[in-house]
Amino acid sequence: MSAKIAFVFPGQGSQSIGMLAELGAQHAVVTNTFAEASEVLGYDLWELVQLDVHNQLSQTHITQPALVAASVSLWRLWLQQGGATPSLLAGHSLGEYSALVCSGALDFADAIRLVEARGRFMQVAVPSGEGAMAAIIGLDNDVVAGVCKASAEDQVVVPVNYNAPGQVVIAGSKPAVERAMVACKESGARAVMPLPVSVPSHCELMLPAAEQLRVLLESTKVVMPTIPVVQNVDGKVAGSVNAIVSNLVTHLIEPVLWTQCVESIAASGIDLVIECGPGKVLNGLSKRINKTLQTASINNAALLAATLEQ
């Protein structure tokens, strides 16, 4: 009996210079997908991703469309190669937009426009250098939340990604995040790592960006997915287009409940979770959250062939 599969799509942090170069050289669908995105953006996204001569890939308004294009190109390649249609989709943070494209809820070109604008809105809301994010390893969720509350003072620092048991990301104003990092170490965290990001996602500092995104989403066509998408804000499948759109707005200012998303996937009877994008971050998280789940990736030729066979 064939496995029941889900696809998961990574968010910011999974990008790398030269990503998908091997598959792009072998399969036109990859470079053609980037060419579609380039038409929307007005610059050669594939060339930027492959060479990044001006160190732009880490800028959030470029990172976001680059990752959506990468994930959608792999999805198209998977289907072109005869891969099975999954029963469920989910995306981590930005990856939710990739999931919605692949589900049929969002047009690809519209999604590229949305995430490029989303990145710009986010950067304007908190100028570079004013916000920060950090990963906290080895503390309970409640302890991290308590430390953040005690460290905030008159600023913002909150848990924003519940990635797996004992792995939480915090975000907010840079000084408050730095205070919380020290306090988490003192509380017994196994590791505390600042993240190389230009904006503090999924916290109240993103409220101005969320309001701008709401306006843009209101003029964007969104339909019900043909494949259900588990969304980050509650770990559930939304029952209406209005709910999907509302969740995308809330998504910018509320934490990513990735543990709940993966638990929902497992509870639905999924056997195999395939990470559809560069990197392998989500495979590691899936295994930490639910050890019964099998995981796979498709971001190079060998992995694609092995997963198609599986």
Enzyme catalytic residues:
93, 202
Helix pair angle (60-80, 95-102), 10° resolution: 30
Give the whole-angstrom CA distance, residue 80 versus residue 139.
43
Q: Which two tokens stand for residue 306?
A: 């092995």
Mode of pairing for the β-strands spanning 229-231 and 236-237: antiparallel
φ/ψ region of 91 (left if φ > 0, alpha if ψ in -120 to 50, else beta) reads: beta
In single-letter form, the type of residue at position 224 comes to M
Which residues sit opposite 88 in a β-bridge? 6
Which residues sit opposite 191 in a β-bridge? 137
Which residues sit opposite 173 in a β-bridge? 131
In single-letter form, the type of residue at position 22 comes to E
**Contact by Cβ (8 Å): 163, 169:** yes
For residue 14, give the 3-state DSSP assignment: coil
Q: Which two tokens stand for residue 281?
A: 């971050």
DSSP string, 207-269: HHHHHHHHHHHHTS-B---SS-EEETTTTEE-SSHHHHHHHHHHTTTS-B-HHHHHHHHHHTT
Give the whole-angstrom CA distance, residue 7 versus residue 71.
10
**Contact by Cβ (8 Å): 279, 98:** no
